[in-house]
Chain A
C-alpha cells in the first residue's frame, strides 16, 4: 500500500525538486527463511545450528515477526552534477566516493526504510529480563527486516526505471566512502519523518532498525558490469558478504 506525495511535496522546497516521491506506510516483506536469520546470528561455516538450537531460534523468530512494522519513503532526483568525489541532487551536494559509484546513473533515489521501533523495544525488554539469547535473535530479526524493507521499497523505485535501465547497488552514509555526516544532507531530500524515521545528533537513526541510502537508476549494461563493494574487502569469511 502506498500513497503518492502531493501536499507534503509543496511544503518542502528540496523535495519539490524531485522527479517523484512516495511514502510507503506498509511494506510487504519477502518471507523470512531460517537460513537468513542464521546468517545474521553469525552461523557461517556450518550454515545452521543443531536441531534443539534451531527450535529455540524458531520460537523467538515467530514472536519477533509479529512486531515488525516495515515502512519507507523515497524521492527520485535527477543528477545535476557529479565528480568522482561528489554527487549533486537538486541543490544538495553529497560528498564521497558515491559520485564514482553512481557515475552511470542519471537519476538517483534517496530512501529511508525502517522495521519499526517495536522490534527494538521487544529486544530491549528481553535483555532487561536477563534473556540475552532472545534479545539477540530479536535484534537479528530486526536487522533482517530493515534489509527486507529496503528490498521491498526498491520494488516501488523500480517503477521509475525506463526501458533498458536497472537499479544499482544501494549505498548508505557511513559506508562506501561516504561519511556518516552526509545523513544530514540526505534526510531533507525525502519524507523519512512521515514514516517515523528521524536522525539523532550522533547521526544514528531512530528507530534503530532503519536504513537510509542512495540507489542509482542507470543503463542495464553499466549496472551489470558493477561488482559488489565486498570484492574490495579483505574479510572474505564475513557472514554478511554479498
Chain B
C-alpha cells in the first residue's frame, strides 16, 4: 500500500509566514519522514504560494511578504532539485533576465528573479545596462527557455525592441520565449515589439513564465 502523504501544514505555514529557516527545517523533516520531493512541491510549496498570492491580491500581503515567501521556497528548491534530478524529473525551465541597455534600474528585475526562483525556475540574472549581445551570448551558452527584459523608463524602453531584433538577426529568436516588464511597459507595447508576454507585476510573472514554458 502506498504511504499516505504526510501532513505538510508546518511547511505551508512556514512558507506563508516567510520564515526561511522554519521552511527549510519543515522540508527536511518531511523528506526524512518519506514524503516524496514531488509531493513537497504539490502538497506544500504550491498551495502555500497560492495562499501567499491570494493574500497579496487581497491587499493583506505586500511585496516584502511575497519576497520572504519566495525566498523560503527558493531554499526548499535548493534541497529538492538534486532529489528531483535523481528521480529523473525534467529540470525546471531556465530564465535569463536583465535590465536593457541604457537603463540602470534593477529593483523590478530583482523582484521578478526572486519570484521566479521561488516558483522553482532556474534564473540567470545578467544585471543592468545589458547590451543585446550579452543576452544573445547567455542564450547560446546553455539551454534557455525564457528571456526576460526589464526597463523603467520610456527613454530606455526602445532597447527592448532592439534586443528582440538582435535575437532575430542572430537567428535564435524562435528558440526562446521573451517576456517584458517595467513601469512604462504595457501589453500593447509588448505586442508591438514582438515579445511573447508581458507581466504587470513581479508576482504575476511566475504564472506568465509557466504559460510561456508550456507553449515552448
Contact = CB atoms under 8 A, between A and B. Distances in A.
Contacts of A137: 64
B18 interface: yes
Contact of B105 (A42, A135, A200, A208): A208
A145 B59 CA distance: 26
A133 B64 contact: yes
Contacts of A35: none
A31 interface: no
B192 interface: no
Interface stretch (B7-15, B81-89, B109-117): B109-117
B204 interface: no
B106 interface: yes
Give the bracket for the number of chain A residues in contact with chain B.
20 to 34
A239 to B, nearest CB: 10
Contact of B67 (A46, A128, A132, A181): A132
Given A132-B110, A132-B114, A53 B102 contact: no
Contacts of B138: none
Contact of A133 (B67, B103, B113, B117): B67
Contacts of A202: 102-103, 153, 155-156
B107 A123 contact: yes
A45 B125 CA distance: 32
Nearest to A174: B153
Interface in A96-138: 123-124, 127-128, 130-133, 135-137
Contacts of B103: 202, 204
A200 B68 CA distance: 34
Contacts of B114: 130, 132-133
Interface string B69-112: 01100100000000000000000000000000011111100110
B51 interface: no
Interface in A44-72: 45-46, 49, 52-53, 56-57
B161 to A, nearest CB: 14
A201 interface: yes
B64 A53 contact: yes
A206 interface: yes
A202 B102 CA distance: 6
Interface hub of A139, A174, A201 (most chain B Cβ within 10 A): A139
Interface residues of B, number: 29
Given A46-B59, A123-B107, A53 B65 contact: yes
B70 A132 contact: yes
Nearest to B110: A127
Interface hub of B68, B70, B106, B117 (most chain A Cβ within 10 A): B106
Given A46-B59, A127-B110, A132-B113, A204 B104 contact: yes
Given A132-B70, A132-B114, A49 B65 contact: yes
B38 interface: no
B64 A124 contact: no
B50 interface: no
Interface in A183-236: 200-204, 206, 208
B106 A180 contact: no
Contact of A43 (B17, B18, B62, B125): B62
A154 interface: no
Given A202-B156, A204-B102, 5 more contacts: A53-B64, A136-B111, A137-B64, A139-B107, A174-B153
The 6 nearest A-B residue pairs measured at CB: A132-B114, A202-B102, A133-B67, A127-B110, A139-B107, A132-B110
5 contacts: A53-B18, A130-B71, A130-B114, A130-B117, A180-B155
